């Protein structure tokens, strides 16, 4: 039972409701009339930070759902064309950038459509081999020239920057979850992450590498999308996929292919612990089937993180 005086950690509002196919149609007609006759339809799998619509058969329209996601538009438009030639899989080609209009207050973008399906485990026959592919993508991204790249900060929701930014929020979550999990062990994992400083040369990170942001064909990685939280800094935030998607042999294969020292993996555990605690806190008291499923996955991840910390720290 949550303590009566426990601090409340609220879920962010969902800004997607005001973005519709009609709005996209109006924006295209006003700013890119050469495409106004193309059909517009929402993509089957969409995210929270942006709404995405198919534009014809070869393009997409991507619109931020809130002001905090706006910096990603200019950042991706500037940097993805520079990163793309050096990566082993496709990334979104930027075709045009739109301006605020038709009652929509933010810049937006038109991109080329990338074929493939999201990387759900059911679509991957050899998960350890896939895990190695993901590690190879991350290593290739880190080898890209980082001079002038955006250092981790508000635009990346502080991924790539020190975890201390989320210390107060994480400790509020630990208080709220005292009766729901082993918060003492979780606090140890969090402190170990805080105690590990990044001292290497800043490199590119993706910032939100998850199954929904990777595309596969025939079980192999073919594209990585949604670089909205990318930047230059500590790449530990990209290792959260080790627990978020991989288990057993696949996790071991990913760890071996990527490498990294104990501090890197301690910070990676910290990044995923923060997010899992936060999302689990949002679900407290909810009876919805979706929230219960989310809570169960958060608990599974936290259990794995605590186990790995005891075994590897």
Q: What CA–CA distances, in Å, run from 121 to 45, 165, 220, 239?
A: 15, 32, 11, 18
The neighbouring-strand residues paired with 205 are 231
Count Cβ atoms within 10 A of the Cβ of residue 273 and give its class: 0-12 exposed, 13-18 middle, 19 or more buried: buried
Q: Give dist(CA 41, CA 310) in Å, integer.
A: 48
**So what's the pLDDT on residue 11?**
54
Pairing of strands 108-112, 231-233: unpaired
From first to last of its 313 residues, what are the pLDDT tens digits of the chain?
Answer: 333 344 456 555 555 558 999 999 999 999 999 999 999 999 987 778 899 999 999 999 999 999 999 999 999 999 999 999 999 999 999 999 999 999 999 999 999 999 999 999 999 999 999 999 999 999 999 999 999 999 999 999 999 999 999 999 999 999 999 999 999 999 999 999 999 989 999 999 999 999 999 999 999 999 999 999 999 999 999 999 999 999 999 999 999 999 999 999 999 999 999 999 999 999 998 999 999 999 999 999 999 999 999 988 6
Residue 187 structure tokens: 């606090």
**So what's the pLDDT on residue 7?**
46
Q: Which domains does the chain have, with CATH numbers?
A: 21-113 (3.30.200.20), 118-312 (3.90.1200.10)
Query: Residues 130, 215, 87, 80: is their CA dihedral positive or negative?
Result: negative
**So what's the pLDDT on residue 125?**
95
**So what's the pLDDT on residue 80?**
97
Q: Structure pTM?
A: 0.91
């Amino acid at each position: 039972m949550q303590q009566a005086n426990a601090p409340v950690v609220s879920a962010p509002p969902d800004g997607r409701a005001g973005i519709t196919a009609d709005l996209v149609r109006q924006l295209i007609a006003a700013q890119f009339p050469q495409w106004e006759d193309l059909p517009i339809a929402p993509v089957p799998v969409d995210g929270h930070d942006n709404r995405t619509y198919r534009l014809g058969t070869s393009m997409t329209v991507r619109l931020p759902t809130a002001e905090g996601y706006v910096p990603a538009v200019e950042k991706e438009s500037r940097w993805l064309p520079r990163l793309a030639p050096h990566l082993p899989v496709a990334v979104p080609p930027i075709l045009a950038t739109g301006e605020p209009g038709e009652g929509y207050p933010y810049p937006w973008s038109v991109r080329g459509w990338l074929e493939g399906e999201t990387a759900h485990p059911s679509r991957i026959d050899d998960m350890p081999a896939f895990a190695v592919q993901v590690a190879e993508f991350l290593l290739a991204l880190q080898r890209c020239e980082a001079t002038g790249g955006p250092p981790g900060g508000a635009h990346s929701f502080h991924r790539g920057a020190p975890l201390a930014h989320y210390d107060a929020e994480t400790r509020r979550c630990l208080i709220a979850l005292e009766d729901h999990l082993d918060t003492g062990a979780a606090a140890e994992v969090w402190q170990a992450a805080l105690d590990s400083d990044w001292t290497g040369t800043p490199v590119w990170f993706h910032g939100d590498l998850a199954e929904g942001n990777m595309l596969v064909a025939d079980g192999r990685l073919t594209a990585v999308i949604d670089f909205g939280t990318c930047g230059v800094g500590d790449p530990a935030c990209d290792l959260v996929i080790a627990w978020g998607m991989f288990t057993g042999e696949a996790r071991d294969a990913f760890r071996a292919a990527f490498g990294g020292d104990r501090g890197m993996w301690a910070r990676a555990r910290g990044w995923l612990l923060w997010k899992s605690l936060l999302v689990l806190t949002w679900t407290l008291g909810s009876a919805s089937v979706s929230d219960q499923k989310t809570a169960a996955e958060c608990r599974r991840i936290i259990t794995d993180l605590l186990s790995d910390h005891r075994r590897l720290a």
